[in-house]
Amino acid sequence: MTGNLTITGAGSNLSVSGNASITGTTSLTNDLAVDTDTLFVDVSTDRVGINAGVNPISNLDVVGDLGIFVRTSSNAPTTGARIKFSDQTSDYSQLGTLRYNHSDGQSPNSEYNEGFTMEGTEAELFFRVVGDVIASRKMGVGINREPDFTLEVNGDALFQTGVTIDTDNDNSGAPLIFRGSSSYRNFRIGNQLVGNHLFTIQASTNNGGTTWNGTPAITVAGDTNRVAINTTSTSGIDPSNNQNRNYNLNIQGDVNFNGTLYQNNAEFVTSRWTEAPNGNDIYRPSKVGINFTSAANPGYELEVKGSINIEGSSFTNNVNEFTLRANGDRQWIDTYGVMKANRNTIAENVTIPTNTNCGSFGPLEITNGITITISNGAAWSIL
Over residues 224-275, the pLDDT tens digits come to 999 999 999 999 999 888 999 999 999 999 999 999 889 899 888 777 788 8
Lowest model confidence (mean pLDDT) among 68-72, 198-202, 348-352: 68-72
pTM listed for this prediction: 0.62
Q: Which of 321, 363, 371, 323 is nearest to 344 (CA)?
A: 363
Cα–Cα distance, 188 to 176 (Å, whole number): 6
Looking at mean pLDDT, say which of 135-149, 163-177, 295-309 comes out highest. 163-177
Contact 56, 47 (CB under 8 A): yes
> Is residue 154 exposed (0-12), middle (13-18) or buried (19+ Cβ within 10 Å)?
exposed
119-127 contacts at long range (C-beta below 8 A, 24 or more positions apart): 120/94, 120/95, 120/96, 121/93, 121/94, 121/95, 121/96, 122/94, 125/96
Cα–Cα distance, 151 to 162 (Å, whole number): 17
Cα–Cα distance, 243 to 7 (Å, whole number): 116
pLDDT at 360: 96
Provide the CB-side half-sphere exposure for 3 (13 A, CA): 2
Q: Which of 74, 94, 76 is nearest to 84 (CA)?
A: 94
- Mind listing the pLDDT tens digit for each residue in 357-372? 999 999 999 999 999 9
Cα–Cα distance, 381 to 383 (Å, whole number): 6
> Is residue 49 exposed (0-12), middle (13-18) or buried (19+ Cβ within 10 Å)?
buried
Looking at mean pLDDT, say which of 39-48, 90-99, 234-243 comes out highest. 39-48
pLDDT at 292: 87
Q: Helix, strand, or coil here: 274? A: strand
Cα–Cα distance, 113 to 107 (Å, whole number): 8
Residue 76 has pLDDT above 80, yes or no: no
Q: Which of 236, 233, 238, 206 is nearest to 219 (CA)?
A: 233
**Dihedral angle, C-alpha 96, 100, 102, 103, nearest 10 °:** 30
Please provide the DSSP assignment of 289-315 as one string.
EES--SSPPPSSSEEESS--------E
Share of the chain above pLDDT 70, in %: 98
Please provide the DSSP assignment of 104-145 as one string.
STTS-TTT-SEEEEEEESSS------SS----SS-EEES-SS
Average pLDDT of the chain is: 92
Per domain, the residue ranges of the chain are 168-256, 342-383
Share of the chain above pLDDT 90, in %: 70
